[in-house]
């Protein structure tokens, strides 16, 4: 059975969980010399809609009236580590205000924060994945109901 997220308490939305994750990840990026700008993270379908293969997307500040980067992560991702992994990738785009695609500049930031693989689908390497797993555990404390169906 695929992992699922249990019903959330009304006091903490998925978006609030993601914003907390951004705060944690901001420290991680900062340690590598990168500034994560204020960004709004939402669960939602990417610009290409439900049929898109993208699991996340970052929109540049120019496209938002509030001048923030807006990051969307598709609702189908249930594993918190996968969500955090996707969030790291999208935050690399946010650091660059979505310029540079997945080219050299993106790659330099991505590698420095622990992503690896083809840049279009850059994902957490072993070391970053271990950190994300630790953070997930931290989040377990904040949301003990969230991972009850997760098998280790
Ligand atoms: Zn990307």
**Torsion angle of the four alpha carbons 36, 13, 1, 57, in this order, in degrees rounded to the nearest 10:** -30
Centre of ligand 1 to C-alpha 103, Å, is: 10
Centre of ligand 1 to C-alpha 151, Å, is: 28
Give the model confidence (pLDDT) of 81-104 as tens digits.
999 999 999 999 999 999 999 999
Structural domain containing residue 81: 14-140
- What token pair was written down for 110? 């991505």
Centre of ligand 1 to C-alpha 106, Å, is: 9
Is residue 96 included in any domain, yes or no?
yes
- What token pair was written down for 28? 């991680």
Centre of ligand 1 to C-alpha 10, Å, is: 31
Is residue 148 included in any domain, yes or no?
no
Give the model confidence (pLDDT) of 18-76 as tens digits.
888 899 899 999 999 999 999 999 988 877 655 667 889 999 999 989 999 999 998 88
Centre of ligand 1 to C-alpha 57, Å, is: 7
Is residue 147 included in any domain, yes or no?
no
Cα–Cα distance measured from residue 49 to residue 32, given in angstroms and rounded to the nearest whole number? 33
Residue 129 belongs to domain with CATH number: 3.30.2010.10
pTM above 0.75, yes or no: yes
Total domains in the fold of the chain: 1
């Amino acid at each position: 059975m695929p992992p699922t997220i249990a019903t959330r308490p009304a006091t903490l939305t998925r978006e609030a969980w993601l914003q907390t994750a951004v705060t944690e990840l901001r420290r991680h990026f900062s340690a590598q010399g990168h500034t994560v700008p204020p960004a709004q993270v939402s669960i939602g379908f990417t610009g290409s809609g439900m049929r898109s293969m993208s699991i996340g997307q970052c929109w540049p500040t120019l496209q938002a009236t509030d001048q923030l980067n807006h990051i969307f992560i598709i609702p189908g991702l249930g594993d918190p580590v996968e969500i955090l992994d996707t969030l790291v990738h999208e935050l690399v785009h946010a650091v660059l205000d979505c310029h540079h695609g997945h080219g050299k500049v993106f790659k330099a930031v991505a590698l420095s924060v622990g992503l690896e693989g083809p840049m279009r689908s850059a994902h957490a390497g072993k070391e970053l994945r271990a950190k994300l797993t630790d953070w997930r555990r931290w989040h377990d404390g904040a949301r003990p109901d969230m991972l009850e169906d997760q098998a280790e």
